[in-house]
Amino acid sequence: MARMKFLCDAERCIECNGCVTACKSEHEVPWGVNRRRVVTINDGVPGEKSISVACMHCSDAPCMAVCPVDCFYRTDDGVVLHDKDLCIGCGYCFYACPFGAPQFPQAGAFGLRGKMDKCTFCNGGPEEDRSAVEFQKYGRNRLAEGKLPACAEMCSTKALLGGDGDVIADIYRERVFKRGKGSEVWGWGTAYGPGKPGAAPAPAAGAKS
Amino acid sequence: MTQTKTKLGRRNFILAASAGGAATAAAIVARTASKPKPVAADSDKRSGKGYQVSEHINNYYRTTKV
């Protein structure tokens, strides 16, 4: 069974925000909601790194753990989805998520928080596949059409990889091998410390974190 | 003659009562067994067509190797 994953190659990402635009356009995401965005570390400093972030469809998802109405579920492909009919818009998932993936439309008066919205890995929701109701609530179901997420497919530099985790890992491993140095995945230095092969260089003086 | 008629009526009543009881019990069992489980209905709603390798997807994987 395939397990769907995203991986952003920080060496290739040029901060074009094409993935963000593709996502908003494909799913007709309302104003104020960004299912995906590009984060730049040390912006403006030579050697800055960018990474495209959305729901990472965690294997042990904190949002699922904290949801008081249990509206989250995981598909057979490892995609974390939610049921908007059950969501009460409490925002617990937003506080729990380390990536800030859950989004809440704030179109209502008095700061009213609507139903949570997040990246679906282009796999819709619990409604019937490719139905009008599913599109209206969750966006297009590209996986059911035999396609992959629009953000990954249209990435011009193929920095953002999405699909079967095993295939994605092989593609990335091959890239690292061709570069002839260590892994440049964003966060490597944070996770494994400096001084190791492929560790992120120390930020320049005055660099923003 | 009258006594015989009374006896037959009582037997018929007992037979009818026992048959009716058995039929009611069978109906209750059948209703309980055929009641759909709400959990199963919910999981059906959530099971959709997922990832399947297609020519389109293989083409995407090929472009990432550039």
Domain assignments of chain B as residue spans, ordered by start: 2-63
Chain A residue whose CA is closest to B42? A126
Q: Is the dihedral of CA A152, A153, A159, A164 positive or negative?
A: positive
Tens digits of residue pLDDT in B42-59: 555 577 778 999 999 999
Report pLDDT for B17.
73
Residue in B46, B60, B66 closest to A148 by CB? B60
- Within a domain: A200: no
List CB contacts (< 8 A) between A127 and chain B.
45
CATH number, position A163:
3.30.70.20
Identify the contact set of chain B against chain A, taking CB-CB distances under 8 A.
45-54, 56-57, 60-61, 63-66
Report pLDDT for B33.
57
Tens digits of residue pLDDT in B2-61: 555 555 577 777 777 777 666 666 666 566 555 554 444 455 557 777 899 999 999 999
Percentage of chain A beyond pLDDT 70 is 84
Residue in B46, B57, B66 closest to A146 by CB? B57
Band (pLDDT 50/70/90 cuts) for residue A195 is: low
Report pLDDT for B2.
52
Yes or no: say if A120 and A95 are a contact pair by the CB < 8 Å rule.
no
Report pLDDT for B15.
74
Tens digits of residue pLDDT in A48-80: 989 999 999 999 999 999 999 999 999 999 999
- The pLDDT of A136-153, averaged and rounded, is 96
Band (pLDDT 50/70/90 cuts) for residue A124 is: very high
Report pLDDT for B45.
59
Cα–Cα separations (whole angstroms), residue B28 to A99, A109, A155: 53, 52, 61
Q: Which residues of A68-84 are buried (b: 16+ CB within 10 A; e: fewer)?
A: eeebbbebebbbbbbbb
List CB contacts (< 8 A) between B48 and chain A.
75, 123-124, 126, 128-129, 141, 144
Alpha helices in A110-201 (DSSP H): 132-138, 150-154, 165-179, 188-192
> Domain limits at A28?
4-192
- Within a domain: A126: yes
Q: How many domains does chain A have?
A: 1
Report pLDDT for A179.
81
- The pLDDT of A1-19, averaged and rounded, is 93
Residue in A73, A124, A143 closest to B51 by CB? A143
Candidates A80, A77, A85; CA nearest to A144 is A77
CA distance A142 to A123: 6
- Within a domain: A81: yes
